[in-house]
Amino acid sequence: MANQFIEEKITELTRKGDMEKAKFLKNLHKKILPSQFEKIQKNDKSVMKEMFMPKWVSWEMLRAWADNFQMPGKGRVCILCGEKSENGIDFNEKFICENCFVRLKHLE
């Protein structure tokens, strides 16, 4: 749902002709530090003072983006155990880590 909100916002901006704003949202991960990303995920609004964001970027927009975005290079969160892992599979657009997949395979 959060990803859908951001995608709709990008589509809306593109439709209106605000290509710069749409490009900014697509590249938002390049403008936010990992420590700032963690604060956004923890709903710490004090991070807004640290970042240089345009006025049109709202806190709700940042939260929606952070809820669905995974920082590159850290792996992905498994839907079964909640741990981050780099190895695993995608099943119905959800990530299952290698350990959980092996456990599920042995249940058959």
Task: Tell me the pLDDT of the chain averaged across its residues.
Answer: 84
Q: Which two tokens stand for residue 104?
A: 């599920």
The pTM score is 0.59
17: left (phi over 0), alpha (psi -120 to 50) or beta: left
Binning the chain into helix, strand and coil, the percentages to the nearest 5 are: 55, 10, 35
d(CA 10, CA 12): 5
Residue 74 pLDDT exceeds 80: no
Q: Is the separation of the CB atoms in 84 and 77 below 8 Å? A: yes
26-54: b or e for each residue (b if 16 or more CB lie within 10 Å)? eebeeebeeebbebbeeeeeebeeeeebe
pLDDT per position as a tens digit, 33-68: 888 888 888 898 888 888 888 888 889 888 888 887
Overall average pLDDT of the 5-17 stretch: 87
Beta bridge partners of 97: 88
The predicted structure's pLDDT at residue 15: 92
Overall average pLDDT of the 22-31 stretch: 86
The predicted structure's pLDDT at residue 71: 60
Residue extents of the structural domains in the chain: 2-68, 76-107
Higher pLDDT, 69 or 33: 33
Q: Alpha carbon of 29 to those of 33, 73, 94: distances in Å?
A: 8, 12, 21
